[in-house]
Amino acid sequence: MEKKQFQAESKRLLDLMINSIYTHREVFLRELISNASDAIDKIYYKALTDDTLRFDQDSYYIKVEADKENKTLKIMDTGIGMTKEELENNLGVIAKSGSLAFKSENELKDGYDIIGQFGVGFYAAFMVADVVTVISKALGSDEAYKWESEGADGYTIELCQKDSVGTEVILKIKENTEEDRFDEFLEEYRLKEIIKKYSDFIRYPIKMDVTVSKPKEDNDNEYVDFVEEQIINSMVPIWKKNKSDLTDEDYEKFYQEKRYGFDKPLKTIHTNVDGAIRYNAILFIPENIPFDYYSKEYEKGLELYSNGVLIMNKCADLLPDYFSFVKGMVDSEDLSLNISREMLQHDRQLKRIEKNINKKIKSELLSLMKNDREKYEKFFNSFGRQLKYGVYSDFGTHKEVLQDLLMFYSSKEKKLITLDEYVLRMPEEQKYIYYATGESNERIEKLPQTELVADKGYEILYFTDEIDEFAIRMLMNYKEKEFRSVSSGDLGIEEDQTDSAEESNENEDLFEKMQNILAGKVKNVRISKRLKTHPVCLSTDGEISIEMEKVLNAMPDNQGIKADKVLEINPHHEVFEALKSAFEKDQEKLALYTNLLYNQALLIEGLPIQDPVEFTNDICKVMV
Ligand code: ADP
Ligand code: MG
């Protein structure tokens, strides 16, 4: 028989195909099944326009058969088949897609999601097979043909016998080598796994003969093996079903099957978009924090399908970092795929989908906040930190998107509140949104610095996450209200201004002396406007707060950034009198008192004392 040559370019292309296009060999099966599905789509389409054909659901299917003994794998379909010419043109010319041509010849519009377009998928078979045989009988033809090829050498075509219309692709699976195992592609479990992974939502049944063990009829303890024909794929993807036909359990099952998490979804977002860009998406917000979530190992991303065929396991481009906790999938027919269907060109469609999804997640979170506060709080306790990182990251670019989703613990409500709720409740004369930072709500509650603000009846937000103050600094203001730490120099509360000014003038020398005693430790000593009952506290001038100093210095690349600390003294506290008299009579005592008060302020702030032994000795000195 005459051997026909692939076209010259085709030869090189075939080499390229076999050796370098795909990273995972297993996708050969995805490609062959996709072709089979396309072939059935075509006969289905013909049946719609040709009365002599009837499309009977049951007689259209794909079957995968492994023969371990002969090391062959057969993929057969009851699709439209190929004529001799079509075998030559479609399989003999690489990069020629009969499917693409079919689409344009028949002006197929929406609903016919033919997968093929590049005319290369078929050759993926040579990644796992030495010989590929295609036996096909075209619709309306009396003859069947056999096409056979051993790869780059070329192919043969001859007449053969086949009763029914359709195609069989038979792969002679390669022998194992030292590095590579090929016989896995003859294993039942492996084939099922691959079909499930890539072709679960092919619209036609993918059948396989599967060995199952069943108890014997007369004896429950003895098992016999049966061969049973099973349908491996689920066919209709859940995301193409009607939302009204789906229950919470259906979504939960999908979540678990897909191994999005070991928990349940806290919130499910199912969206079908049919506009300038078309896609279906099912997105989940997990109930619990994935164990590796706040670690480097965590990989964000959504599964990406094109027409029900899996393209990518984790498409990171679909999720911004601040929503990296979202799990789920997107299926779109409008994607421009690259030839291996592995990576996407970073195209406009994908960007658009990302933008849409982003908006959708935000609006769903807002509606959850509004309609199911308890659930939203649960969500926020798990992933709120990520949102706050989002506000802080990229120089605050995302703050507009995220600020309404934030929550902080409120001194008044004793629970999480939103910034909007805070601002709505602000009395007219209140200038700033106040916050206090600390290790825990309990500790912040007791901070002396909160006294004046709390006394005024103003609400204070408690910041207990390291990121909080950084995020807020990035936000700067909310609804035109600036944020202000209760420890900051200016609280914007006009009170006893003149009073304290006078006191300051009067005691200038005392404070200067104290400042000298604490040289290098505090930048300033002054009368406090914020203290009511406590004797001392620390506050800061400038941009860096004490809490920020703590965080920055805990970082590996810390640059020893220091907050400008101020020791504030309550002029109405008895201690102040003691200081004044020591200043007049006993300089040594003044030094002792000053150091004691400074160390107390450090302790209150949760900062370490430089010399705890000296501190305790100082206390004893005062006692005796
Ligand atoms: P693509 O699917 O992107 O068009 P392929 O290399 O996978 O490229 O297939 C090339 C062409 O061969 C298809 O477009 C189709 O016309 C034809 N073909 C492949 N497999 C089959 C099949 N099982 N039944 C009918 N036609 C097929
Ligand atoms: Mg194909």
What pairing do the DSSP bridges indicate for beta strands 129-137 and 166-173? antiparallel
Give the tens place of pLDDT for each residue, 557-589. Answer: 877 888 999 999 999 999 999 999 999 999 999
Q: Which is the closest atom of ligand 1 to the Cα of 75?
A: 23
- 557 in the same domain as 429: no
Give the closest residue (by CA) to ligand 1 atom 16.
98
318: confidence class by pLDDT, cuts 50, 70, 90 = very high
| pLDDT at residue 47 in the model | 80
Q: How far apart (Å, rounded) are the C-alpha atoms in residues 401 and 387?
A: 10
CA distances from 268 to 246, 257, 265, 357, 360 (A): 12, 15, 6, 13, 12
Using the atom order of ligand 1, give the atom closest to the CA of residue 36: 23
Are both 357 and 269 inside the same structural domain?
Answer: yes
- With a cut of 80, say whether residue 56 has pLDDT above it: no
Could you tell me if 339 and 431 lie in one domain? no
Spatial contact of 240 and 280, defined as CB atoms under 8 Å apart: yes
Residue whose Cα lies nearest atom 12 of ligand 1: it is 90
**Residue nearest atom 19 of ligand 1, based on CA coordinates:** 35
Q: Are 78 and 168 in contact (CB under 8 A)?
A: no
Confidence category of residue 597, pLDDT binned at 50, 70, 90: very high
* Alpha carbons 171 and 66: distance in angstroms, whole number: 10
Q: Are residues 408 and 547 in the same domain?
A: no
Q: For residues 31 and 150, state if they share a domain.
A: yes
Q: Which of 90, 96, 105, 168 to mutate to test the pocket of ligand 1 (most atoms within 8 A of CB)?
A: 90
User: Residue 3 domain-assigned?
Assistant: no
Tell whether 389 is covered by a domain: no
Strand order through the sheet with 155-160 = 155-160, 144-149, 129-137, 166-173, 72-77, 62-67, 206-215, 223-231
Write out the two tokens for 209: 């003969």
Residues 456 and 482 in one domain: yes
**Which structural domain range is residue 619 located in?**
498-624
Identify which of 6, 30, 38 to mutate to test ligand 1's pocket (most ligand atoms within 8 A of the CB). Answer: 38
Beta-carbon contacts of residue 457 (< 8 Å; ≥ 6 apart): 427
Query: For position 564, what pLDDT does the model report?
Result: 92
Q: Where residue 189 sits, what CATH number does that domain have? A: 3.30.565.10
Report whether residue 116 contacts ligand 1, using a CB cutoff of 6 Å: yes
Looking at per-residue pLDDT, the higher value among 413 and 242 belongs to 413
State in Å: Cα 41 to ligand 2 middle. Answer: 13
Q: Are residues 458 and 509 in the same domain?
A: no
Q: Can you read off the two tokens belonging to residue 217?
A: 């009829």
Ligand 1 neighbourhood includes 31 CB (under 6 angstroms) = yes
Mean pLDDT of 273-296: 92
Q: For residue 85, how far is its CA from the centre of ligand 1 (angstroms)?
A: 13
Is 89 near ligand 1, meaning CB less than 6 Å away?
no
**Residue 120 beta carbon below 6 angstroms from any ligand 1 atom:** yes
Check pocket membership of 121 for ligand 1, CB cut-off 6 A. Answer: yes
**Nearest residue to 171 (alpha-carbon basis) of 308, 38, 43, 26:** 26
pLDDT digits 0-9 by tens, 428-475? 999 999 999 999 999 999 999 999 999 999 999 999 999 999 999 999
Residue among 37, 122, 157 whose CB has most ligand 1 atoms within 8 A, to mutate: 122
Examine residue 377 and state whether it is found in any structural domain, yes or no.
Answer: no
Instruction: Report DSSP letters for 591-602, one per residue.
Output: HHHHHHHHHHHH
Report the share of the chain in percent with pLDDT over 70.
Answer: 94
Cα–Cα distances (Å) from 187 to 70, 78, 191, 209, 332, in that order, read 13, 24, 6, 12, 32
CA-166 nearest atom, ligand 1? 24
- Residue pair 196/232 in contact (Cβ under 8 Å)? The answer is yes
pLDDT at position 456, please? 92
Q: Residue 358 — pLDDT band, cuts 50, 70, 90?
A: very high
Q: Does ligand 1 lie within 6 Å of residue 91's CB atom?
A: yes
**Per-residue pLDDT at 498 exceeds 60:** no
What's the confidence (pLDDT) of residue 462?
97
| CATH code, domain with 339 | 3.30.230.80
What percent of the chain lies above the pLDDT cut of 90?
A: 65
d(CA 35, CA 29): 10
Higher pLDDT, residue 48 or 328: 328
pLDDT tens track for 373-417: 999 999 999 999 999 999 999 999 999 999 999 999 999 999 999
Q: Is 126 in the pocket of ligand 1 (CB under 6 A)?
A: no
Task: List the CATH number of the domain containing 526.
Answer: 1.20.120.790
Q: What are phi and psi of 347, to 5 degrees?
A: -105, 175
For residue 119, the ligand 1 atom closest to its alpha carbon is: 8
Residue 182 CA to ligand 2 center (angstroms) comes to 22
Whole-angstrom Cα distance, residue 388 to residue 401? 11
- Is residue 249 domain-shared with residue 125, that is, in the same domain? no
Select from 309, 339, 371 the last residue of a domain.
371
- Determine the distance separating the centroid of ligand 1 and the alpha carbon of 98, expressed in angstroms: 6
Lowest mean pLDDT among 178-192, 359-373, 596-610: 596-610
* Residue at 259 is within a domain: yes
Which of 494, 525, 552 is at the close of a domain? 494
Residue closest via CA to ligand 1's atom 23 equals 36
Q: In angstroms, what is the span from residue 319 Cα to ligand 2's centroid? A: 29
| Ligand 1: residue whose CA is nearest its atom 2 | 116
Q: Return the best residue to mutate from 84, 97, 168 for the ligand 1 pocket (most ligand atoms within 8 A of CB).
A: 97
Instruction: Please tell me whether residue 358 adopts helix, strand or coil conformation.
Output: helix
- Average pLDDT of the chain is 89
Burial (CB count within 10 angstroms: exposed 0-12, middle 13-18, buried 19+), residue 584 = exposed
Given the CA of residue 169, which atom of ligand 1 is nearest to it?
23
Check which CATH number belongs to the domain holding 454 and give it.
Answer: 3.40.50.11260
User: What is the number of structural domains in the chain?
Assistant: 4
- Output the pLDDT for position 556: 82
Cα 86 to ligand 1 centre (Å): 9
Last residue of a domain, one of 231, 265, 290: 231
Any atom of ligand 1 within 6 Å of the Cβ of 167? yes
Confidence label for 511 from pLDDT (cuts 50, 70 and 90): very high
**133 located within any domain:** yes
Instruction: Kindly state whether residues 199 and 246 are assigned to the same domain.
Output: no
The gap from C-alpha 1 to its chain's centroid, in whole angstroms, comes to 57
Q: Exposed, middle or buried: residue 11 (CB in 10 Å: 0-12, 13-18, 19+)? A: middle
Bridge partners (DSSP) listed for residue 303:
329
Structure confidence at residue 108 as a pLDDT band (50, 70, 90): low
Cβ of 579 closer than 6 Å to ligand 1, yes or no, is no
Atom of ligand 1 at shortest range from CA of 120 = 6
Q: Are residues 176 and 47 in the same domain?
A: yes
Nearest-5° Cα angle at 565, 564 to 571: 140
Does 509 share its domain with 619? yes
- For residues 490 and 548, membership in a common domain is answered with no
Q: Ligand 2 being an ion, which residues bring their Cβ within 5 A of it?
A: 35, 116, 121
Q: How confident is the model at residue 615 (pLDDT cuts 50, 70, 90)?
A: very high
Residues 251-260: what's their mean pLDDT? 90
- Answer whether 118 contacts ligand 1 (Cβ < 6 A): yes
Specify the pLDDT at position 95.
64
Place of tokens 């009368």: 527
Token pair of 23 as six digits: 């990273």
